[in-house]
Amino acid sequence: MKSNKIIIGTRGSILALAQAEKVKEMLIEKYDELRENEDFFEIEGFDKRKSLEIELKVIVTKGDKDLRDFTKIKGTTQKDLFVKEIEKEMLENKIDLAVHSLKDMPQNTPEGLLNACFPMREDNCDVLVSKSGKKLKELDENSVIGTGSVRREKELLNLRNDVKIKAIRGNIHTRLKKLDDGEYDAIVLAAAGLKRVGLESRITEYFDTDSFMPAPGQGILCIQCRENDNKIRHLLKIINDDEVTIMCKAEREFSKIFDGGCHTPIGCSSVIEGNTLKLKGMFNDNGIRIFKEVEGNRENPKETAQKLAEEIKKEEMKNEKR
């Protein structure tokens, strides 16, 4: 039986809802555009005569309920905190697909699920939001900067070793309130998140990706569905971005090699120019920052990532011998 009804699972934060709404809009707009074309072949399981009917279902995750410092939450990783409950609902056929921030996704996808679509990438830079409006180099000595990421902590201290790092948890609005209430002099956030919720005006400073490397996959949306759901998989193809998919494969492979999570001080960023994939990576080896960049064919993103990892590991071995 044909049905154009789809349920998207999402966390309930303002950012998560904004991302899910964006995917909803993209699917409806692209599907309507295609079905008006006489040459458009009907996607199996959908009625070409009708628009899509998409509902958002809010799912509360462990990470939404437990706001302790990540290092104090035992038996899980930061990335597991925000997806497990959503994945469970998908496996139980309660939702059809889910929208995630790729950087929050664990390396291993549960059996039966698939990271099927990467429709867009927003700015992947990290940014500073300061209470005084001062940039990082202008902040006073011993200024308190909030972050929950080891990578960001290492990058901050590499640029300013005279500031104090204080852990911070919560969604974007919670973190900004803590800043405004005086708990911090500044906080570090992802540019993508602030832009998606309309708070770009709060940004004090954009960090250059060479000196402040973003997390692998930062700014990329990931849509997950059941592996055997050919109906949804075929639908998602209409909004997938091929270049973003290549970047995803490269950056995720780099992260996998270093077992990257929020407790692993690694960063990665990629761009595609013609047939060339340019990949940059950072690893902080016990306080020593290793930065490398490589190029490869866009058709071989994993090989390019492996090449980058090899270059960094060579430098790591040199440091160990010193």
Would you please indicate which residues are annotated as catalytic (active-site) residues?
104
Tokens read off for 244: 């973003």
Tokens read off for 18: 């904004």
What count of other Cβ atoms lies within 10 Å of the Cβ of residue 52?
A: 18
CA separation for the pair 22, 44 (Å, rounded): 24
**Distance of alpha carbon 63 from its chain centroid, rounded?**
15
Query: In angstroms, what CA-CA distances link 123 with 15, 37, 43, 209?
Result: 15, 33, 32, 11
Residue ranges with strand state E in the chain? 5-10, 53-58, 97-101, 113-117, 126-130, 144-146, 164-166, 186-190, 205-206, 221-226, 266-273, 276-285, 288-297
DSSP code per residue over 188-236: EEEHHHHHHTT-GGG--EEPPTTTSPPPTTTTBEEEEEETT-HHHHHHH
Angle subtended at Cα 234 by Cα 19 and Cα 37, rounded to the nearest 5 degrees: 95
Closest Cα to residue 239, out of 146, 104, 117, 86?
Answer: 117
